Amino acid sequence: MTFYEMALDSDQIGGHFEDIDMPRLIDHQTKFVSSLVGGPASFSDERIEAVHRNLNISHADFDEMAELFAEALSMHGMEDGHIKIALNAIESKRSIIVARDAA
């Protein structure tokens, strides 16, 4: 199962992915994660915040996404140490992804 299949199945975050151009989203998120772990793509904090601003992402949504992401990486054979590095990089962006007024 892919991360996106898991996310779509999630009661917590599945709604965020309805009516989304999934191939486009997958491309952007692949570049985003790559940029976080030193890859060639680059996204400014301002751009990341702008993209997520109107999505009303809560801390619970963010936590669910991170948990599913870690599970998907593990299922596909990534070593625990590398998963931790990826999750720490994603966690560093929590304050610009989670809506300021979200629960």
Is 52 known to sit in a ligand binding site?
yes
Judge whether 17 and 57 are in contact, CB under 8 Å.
Answer: no
Give 35's contacts (C-beta < 8 A, 6+ positions apart).
Answer: 41, 42, 43
Is 76 known to sit in a ligand binding site?
no
Judge whether 13 and 5 are in contact, CB under 8 Å.
Answer: no
Binding-site residue positions: 28, 52
> Binding site for heme: residue ranges?
28, 52
